[in-house]
Amino acid sequence: MTPQSRITVGIASAGRPATLLETIDYLAGLRNRPERIIVCVPDIDDAVGLCDRLDVELIVGSRGLTCQRNRILRAAVPDTDILIFLDDDFIPAPNFIQRMEAVFAREPDVTIATGEVLADGILDEGLTMSDALEIIETAGERAELVTDVYNAYGCNMVVRLSPVIEHGLAFDEQLPLYGWLEDVDFSRSIARYGRSVRVEGARGVHLGVKSARQPGRRLGYSQIANPAHLIRKGTMSKPRAIAQISRNILANARGALLGDRSIDRRGRLGGNMLALADLLTGRASPARILEFGISSKREMSSPSIATKRR
């Protein structure tokens, strides 16, 4: 790797043009802004305000997080050393890119990294940009601390592209739409060729914007079918997958019993039960969610994927 790494930020987005634009404006205004910003959306209307900008490379591609991230991967090669995947609502601290670049330069065995999430709005009602900026400013700076982790968190994944190119790695497009656990799958795939780490000191805030997220039944099905798929692939251990599935079912059952109105727990629990039945009959597949319509107003308004995966 050259002393000065070529860095690209890649953002896959859908259905949240205002959030996307706000995040792009923030990134473009950073003192240490990335050399390239690549955005992939399924429809041009998802990128209102970005079409004529010279500081953004805009791609319109197939809908689905894994498909969109693969388009970004292909576009980034060969002019990128480090590709930083950010959610459209992840706000990195001003020195986030600089900190990650330093770690990748100093530790050549690191293949994928994730930063320190100071606050995650996905776990509650969500955060605003002003909230994020205040949290980042209040937190200040701390020294970099690099520790090994099982997987990177999808809202901020920093990838060394050389092993991706050498081994033909890609995101699993059999995980459709939101791509539940795609971060685990990709992290464990690339970790075969190096280390997966967390970098404390490379900080940011995940707003957890509630719009344009999966309906409850679809997400509930993915919470069972996707870990089962990763077990078969060998990118998620069976004990970890079983623990993940158990936590999701218990959280959904508890929420349904207690009448949780913030999340469609009943829809998710129904999806859980359908996936378990499909597992018993050998029919379970992540792609089955594409067969599900939005069956109710409750499901249409289900706002979040707030179950923390790790």
pLDDT of 213 reads: 61
Tokens of 76: 């980034």
Q: Tell me the Cα Rg of the chain.
A: 19
CA 169, chain centre distance (Å) = 17
Residue-level pLDDT, tens digit, the chain, 310 residues: 445 789 999 999 999 999 999 999 999 999 989 999 999 999 999 999 999 999 999 999 899 999 999 999 999 998 999 999 999 999 999 999 999 999 999 999 999 999 999 999 887 778 999 999 999 999 988 888 999 999 999 999 999 999 999 999 999 999 999 999 999 999 999 999 999 999 999 999 999 887 656 679 999 999 999 999 999 999 999 999 999 999 999 999 999 999 877 788 999 999 999 999 999 999 999 999 999 865 433 333 333 333 344 3
pLDDT of 141 reads 86
The predicted pLDDT at position 310 comes to 39
CATH 3.90.550.10: which residues of the chain?
Answer: 7-206
- The residues, ordered by sequence, that sit 6+ positions from 24 with a Cβ below 8 Å of its Cβ are 11, 37, 39, 50, 53, 56
| Homologous superfamily of domain range 7-206 | Spore Coat Polysaccharide Biosynthesis Protein SpsA; Chain A (3.90.550.10)
How far is the C-alpha of 280 from the C-alpha of 196, rounded, in Å? 34
pLDDT of residue 123: 77
pTM of the entire predicted model: 0.90
Is 98 exposed, middle or buried (CB count within 10 Å of its CB: 0-12, 13-18, 19+)? middle
